[in-house]
Amino acid sequence: MNTQHSHLAQLNIARMRFALDDPRMADFVDGLARINALADATPGFVWRLQSESGNATDIQAFDDPYLLVNMSVWESSDALRAYVYRSKHADFLRRRKEWFVAMETPMQVLWWVAAGHMPTVSQAKERLEHLTIHGPTPQAFTFRAAFPPPCL
Q: Which CATH number fits domain 11-110: 3.30.70.60, 3.90.320.10, 3.30.2130.10, 3.30.70.100?
A: 3.30.70.100
What's the confidence (pLDDT) of residue 4? 60
Q: How confident is the model at residue 18 (pLDDT cuts 50, 70, 90)?
A: very high
> Which residues are CB-contacts of 6 (< 8 A; sequence separation ≥ 6)?
112, 113, 114, 115, 149, 150
Extents of the domains making up the chain = 11-110
pLDDT tens digits, residue range 55-81?
899 999 999 999 999 999 999 999 999
pLDDT for 151 beyond 80:
no
pLDDT tens digits, residue range 77-131?
999 999 999 999 999 999 999 999 999 999 999 999 999 999 999 999 999 999 9
> Which residues are CB-contacts of 92 (< 8 A; sequence separation ≥ 6)?
28, 31, 35
Residue 43 is given by DSSP the state: T
